[in-house]
Chain A
Amino acid sequence: MPAVREFRRAGLVAVLMALAATSPAAAQAPSDRLEIGAVELESLLDLQVAAVSLREERSSRAPASVFVVTAEDIRSQGFETLEEVLRSVPGLFGYRDGLYPMMGVRGLGLPSDYTTRLLVLVDGHPLVNSVGIGESYLGRDLPVPMSAVKRVEVIKGPVGSVYGPTAFLGVVNVVTHGPGAAAQEARLYAEGGQGRIAGGGAGGAWAGRLGPVSAAASFDLYASNGFNYRYPELALDTRPVPADLVVRGRDAAEQAAGYLRLGWGDFEALGGCGQFRRDISSAPYESIVGDPRTMLENLTCFGQLSVRHDLPGGLMLMGRLAYDDFAYHDAYGYDPPPDGYGLYRDDASDRWWSLEARADWTPSPATRLMAGLTGELHRTMQVAYSEQLPSLVEDPVNGVGIGPIRKDYATLNTYLLAEQTLFGTLRLHGGLTFYVHQIFGSRLTPKLAAVWQASRDDVAKLVYSEGFRAPAAAEAYFEDGTDYIGNLDLKPETVRSLEAIYERRVADVATVALSLFQNEYRNLIQFVTVPAPGVVNPDPNDPTQWRQQANNVGSLRLRGAELAVSVRWGTLLRAWGGIAWQEADQRTANFPELTGNLAVATRWPWKPLQIGVNLLAGAARAKDESAAIPGQTPAVDPYLLLGASATLDVPGATGLSVQLAASNLLDAVVDHPVTGDFTPISAIRDPARTVRLFVRYRP
């Protein structure tokens, strides 16, 4: 088989190339040389990273631990959501609570985090709101279609010195195809599992020119009838539950998203809107199990106008004006009054204007200075109510909810970055951010880093950074009189991080990075289960005698090591993954000591057919102690999730491909710890084996 010989020869050449990296003069016979077509074009341009220091720079030179997943990587595995992409990134691990998917970074993944500690950017525009009541931006609620995505940049570790408070655990920058880029796609897919077709979706992206304006537009549509979920712990429930503990078809979801970018000279306008709705099968807050009224939805829209202008002398000025609108609604079904609340609703919103101005000055190739400020004006609202009952304000005895909770506030983030290259190979970075929150005070956040380009292929980085996170409005203020009580004494969370990174490029096709890190968190905020006001000896089995309250749960020191590898060897091999080990100085809910990720795709032995395999693994994680009830296990088991895909480029039909992708191929049981909101359920299960069939056209 010629293809087998080619593969073996390529493997041999890889080894030779790796050895030759230290002795480049070594000559090779033509038959032993690497086929240049096997080298990823983008790796020669070096994958660019924009999020670390607010401008595009080579990932190897960025003063942070950076990982990049490209659109081709994403397609090769059949990933359909940002959550699936991020789960494949070394050091990250996914978890969920049945409402939204969430992402932990290097061991820290607090239950009910709702992506309030991980900053999600779309083309540099920050999406994350300050309410924190229900959103992820990682799943189907991302208001940007996956067809538009060019690459996803992940920065692990606090980036408070650039972005302020939300970049507490790290930053995820979703970079889309720019206006005018020739990146077009149309795709259709069906999704099924548990022996039936559950739903499907469609998406498309187009880019081109409209007179002097370059444009890029994309859309995504998705609908699913959901799957059946078994909750074994419902056996402990006092509510009526299905005899087999299976809630059927109560996970239906719908999504619609659109995104537009327009470019004209130095100006760029972008805007997106996404609506997401899903039913909730886990019946939190003691609502009726399997009630078809129980659901959540959110609408996220944003628009931004920016201008970037280069001036003589290496000075670049940038301005950005943006408006964001986030609205959340949920509903929970209960018995009608007087036995229950009827239909109980939560609404929340955060609407904010942002204005950013930045000056970036490069007086010489070795020196760079940047200063900027970002101001935001937020208007937030939260309310819980029943359609059939008055509020507690109107009826302190039989009422529900306390009426609208409105908080308006301003924030200002000013930052200064400086870079200086010494001796041609050593690059020093310094950053300082002064962040002011109208309610939660101010914080000075420094960052220091050194990046040493030891050789063409070797880079060493030492990074010290700090971050902080103001309490989300939901954590501090939300009260409903039934499940939540506010906490006006919350202090902002802080983190100090020290990291040493070594990166090596191997034969222009692979990168290996080893990182040692230590993160010290203080005043971490977490929802914990506390006795309801006025209840002295609450019954552990009576949820009505307990409340959820955000508390500063204390300090935590994490230290660990991470190995990350990526190989992009043309069509022969596209692989990335890694392993992260971390330890904490105290018991922490949902903390895995070990996580591993691997994604591999190859077009060997037949180029039109691409086979992909992805693997996720994690160690056992402790459950939320404050929500534990007798009869439950204290931790969830280690997990191993396998996914696979096969993509066929249809012969004779240029640009047309068919892909079959399966997640959780082994139908493994993977549980994730949740807070007391879901009592008696203490862990929510990952979806069962799901298969998607795609038809894509990329002219």
Chain B
Amino acid sequence: MSPPRAIPRLLAAGLAACLATGAAARPARAEDLPARNQALLLLRVLVYDRNLKERAGDAVRVAVVYRSGDASSEAERDALMAAYQEVAREVVAQGLPVKVEALAWRDAADFAARLGQRRFAAVHAGRGVAAVAEELARAARKSQSLTFAPAREMVSAGLAVGLVFRGERAGLVVNLGAARAEGAELDPALLQLAEVLP
């Protein structure tokens, strides 16, 4: 058969469409992993910390931080708590049992005080506290708790480890300076798998 006459025009139209879309990008759209996967991921990341046992003591305590009075944040808390409690029955981290507590964010001073009362090895910050990520990071550095966030923006704001998405692709982003400030010494093997922020 002879070549369709439309081919050159279709090719030209395709090229024009490509070039016409080269302007400003919008941020990647986030799509959550299931809460159980998030819980497993945080714990899996934690065991890359060579200082975990020193920071954790007799158990790996995880604080799930949410904004009190915010319905969506509390719903996220409920899902994460259920997932962590389920996972805590199934796994240990560097041989240590896993314990989880919900910690409400009211203000920075209150949060820092309550975080400091217990020896939390990790802080899982929910989306509801994204706006206070910088203050949360300061508190975590004082208590030497490794922070984990569900969004890149929160990592850029000073939290240590984040989940990032592009479409359905999940990956990890690590703020190395923040992780060190929070007392963690992350194994290079993790850094090979993650996007590392300077």
B11 in contact with A44 (CB, 8 Å): no
A36 in contact with B26 (CB, 8 Å): no
Residue A508 interfacial (CB < 8 Å): yes
B92 in contact with A36 (CB, 8 Å): yes
| Residues of the A chain whose Cβ atoms lie less than 8 Å from the Cβ of B2 | 438
- Give the CA-CA distance A312 to B172 in the complex, in Å: 24
Residue A235 interfacial (CB < 8 Å): no
Closest chain-A Cβ to B88's Cβ sits at a distance in Å of: 9
Task: Select which of B14, B97, B166 is within 8 A of A375 by beta carbon.
Answer: B14
| Residues of the B chain whose Cβ atoms lie less than 8 Å from the Cβ of A438 | 1-3
- The total of interchain contacts (Cβ-Cβ below 8 angstroms) comes to 155
Residue A146 interfacial (CB < 8 Å): no
| Residues of the B chain whose Cβ atoms lie less than 8 Å from the Cβ of A56 | 166-169
Q: Contact mask B22-59 → A, CB, 8 Å, 1/0?
A: 11011011010110110011011111000000000000
Q: Contact mask B172-198 → A, CB, 8 Å, 1/0?
A: 100000000000000010111111100
By CB atoms of chain B within 10 A, which of A28, A37, A48 has the most? A37
| Residues of the B chain whose Cβ atoms lie less than 8 Å from the Cβ of A35 | 47, 91-95
Residue A41 interfacial (CB < 8 Å): yes
Task: Select which of B14, B28, B86, B93 is within 8 A of A310 by beta carbon.
Answer: B28
B-side interface size class: 35 or more
Q: Which residue of A lies closest to B19 (CB)?
A: A319
Closest chain-B Cβ to A332's Cβ sits at a distance in Å of: 36
| Residues of the B chain whose Cβ atoms lie less than 8 Å from the Cβ of A441 | 1
| Residues of the B chain whose Cβ atoms lie less than 8 Å from the Cβ of A39 | 40, 44, 91
Q: Which residue of B lies closest to A316 (CB)?
A: B167
- Give the CA-CA distance A321 to B18 in the complex, in Å: 9
Taking CB atoms and an 8 Å cut-off, the chain A residues in 256-307 that contact chain B are 265-267, 307
| Residues of the B chain whose Cβ atoms lie less than 8 Å from the Cβ of A412 | 4, 7, 10
B195 in contact with A180 (CB, 8 Å): yes
- Give the CA-CA distance A655 to B189 in the complex, in Å: 10
| Residues of the B chain whose Cβ atoms lie less than 8 Å from the Cβ of A356 | 14
B195 in contact with A181 (CB, 8 Å): yes
| Residues of the B chain whose Cβ atoms lie less than 8 Å from the Cβ of A26 | 89
Q: Which residue of B lies closest to A698 (CB)?
A: B192
- Give the CA-CA distance A465 to B196 in the complex, in Å: 41
Q: Which residue of A lies closest to B189 (CB)?
A: A41
Residue A394 interfacial (CB < 8 Å): no
| Residues of the A chain whose Cβ atoms lie less than 8 Å from the Cβ of B1 | 436, 438-439, 441-442
B4 in contact with A436 (CB, 8 Å): yes
Taking CB atoms and an 8 Å cut-off, the chain A residues in 80-119 that contact chain B are none
- Give the CA-CA distance A678 to B190 in the complex, in Å: 51
Closest chain-A Cβ to B115's Cβ sits at a distance in Å of: 23
B193 in contact with A42 (CB, 8 Å): yes
- Give the CA-CA distance A655 to B188 in the complex, in Å: 9
Name 15 extra pairs, CB < 8 A, besides A24-B86, A319-B14, A412-B7. A25-B86, A34-B90, A35-B94, A36-B44, A41-B190, A44-B40, A46-B37, A48-B170, A57-B167, A307-B18, A318-B18, A319-B21, A412-B10, A441-B1, A699-B188
Give residues in A with beta carbon < 8 Å to B.
17, 20, 24-28, 30, 33-37, 39, 41-42, 44-46, 48, 55-58, 61, 180-183, 265-267, 307, 309-312, 314, 316-321, 355-357, 359, 365, 373, 375, 409-410, 412, 414, 436, 438-439, 441-442, 456, 508, 654-655, 698-699
